[in-house]
Amino acid sequence: KQEVTQIPAALSVPEGENLVLNCSFTDSAIYNLQWFRQDPGKGLTSLLLIQSSQREQTSGRLNASLDKSSGRSTLYIAASQPGDSATYLCAVRQGGSEKLVFGKGMKLTVNP
Amino acid sequence: DAGITQSPRHKVTETGTPVTLRCHQTENHRYMYWYRQDPGHGLRLIHYSYGVKDTDKGEVSDGYSVSRSKTEDFLLTLESATSSQTSVYFCAISEESGYTFGSGTRLTVV
């Protein structure tokens, strides 16, 4: 059974820092991995999708990498801003499955 | 935007009553999903659908049923609501660009 872990559960940093958010998964036979952002009381917003054949994806200040063999993905946030404060969720879609398995998320606070 | 609408946005109901949540999509996506989100558990799959009248169970399906009589609508029914079903419920669709989620329904069972 696939398990997805995000450590730490919370992170508080000053504005301007470059951040690395970690996601690990137990079964490397994934189809893709998706990073989401969730603001308090809101739905999930997709940030980046990495297919199993890809090593990384970039969107603006965000860069996500994938290492299937080690069961890890990282989300890099450059020059963090208070507006980046949110919970970040990692989710894995297993090969041969349509279902997403989520980590429990990491709550990020960027202080001005 | 995948055009996903969930209704109602908020609901308070009494223990033992049936409750139906609705998910509506406008872009003819084949796959639709219902998740619940709870502190300490994250998002967990309840049921999903891969076409009209084609549905399957997720990891937390007990106490829930679903129906999909039209491509655009996926209904989640709590047969007899319990306090443990107090949660935020999210509907989602999947496409090549990944999953897209609705805004959620906050359900409180008192």
Residue B2 has pLDDT above 70, yes or no: no
Of A89, A98, A104, the CB nearest to B50: A98
State how far the alpha carbon of B51 is from the alpha carbons of A54, A83, B64, B93, B110, in Å.
29, 38, 18, 12, 34
Q: Residue A101's closest chain B neighbor by CA?
A: B44
Q: Residue B88's closest chain A neighbor by CA?
A: A41
Dihedral (Cα; B81, B84, B93, B42), 10-degree rounding: 170
Exposed e or buried b for every residue in A30-46, given b needs 16+ CB within 10 A?
bebbbbbbbeeeebbeb
Q: A49, B98: Cβ pair inside 8 Å?
A: yes
Which residues on A lie below 8 Å from B44 (Cβ)? 102
Q: B98, A104: Cβ pair inside 8 Å?
A: no
CB B62 within 8 A of CB B79: no
Of B33, B43, B103, the CB nearest to A42: B103
Q: A46, B99: Cβ pair inside 8 Å?
A: yes
- Among candidates B85, B67, B78, B82, which has minimal Cα distance to B23? B67
Q: To which residue do tokens 């820092």 refer?
A: A17
The mean pLDDT value of chain B amounts to 95
Residue B45 has pLDDT above 60, yes or no: yes
Q: B98, A99: Cβ pair inside 8 Å?
A: no
Q: How confident is the model at residue A96 (pLDDT cuts 50, 70, 90)?
A: confident
Region A44-62: mean pLDDT is 96
Residue A52 has pLDDT above 80, yes or no: yes
Residue A44 has pLDDT above 90, yes or no: yes
Residue B95 has pLDDT above 90, yes or no: no
Residues with Cβ within 8 Å of residue B19, at least 6 apart in sequence: B11, B13, B77, B78, B81, B107, B109
Which amino acid appears at position A81 of this protein? Q
The mean pLDDT value of chain A amounts to 95
Tell me the C-alpha distance between B31 and B51, whole Å: 7
Residues with Cβ within 8 Å of residue B34, at least 6 apart in sequence: B21, B23, B45, B46, B47, B48, B58, B64, B66, B74, B76, B89, B90, B91, B92
Q: What is the pLDDT of residue B92?
A: 96
Region A75-88: mean pLDDT is 97
Q: Residue B6's closest chain A neighbor by CA?
A: A43
Residue B1 has pLDDT above 60, yes or no: no
Strand segments, DSSP code E, in chain B are 4-7, 10-13, 19-25, 32-38, 42-51, 54-57, 64-70, 73-78, 87-95, 98-101, 105-109
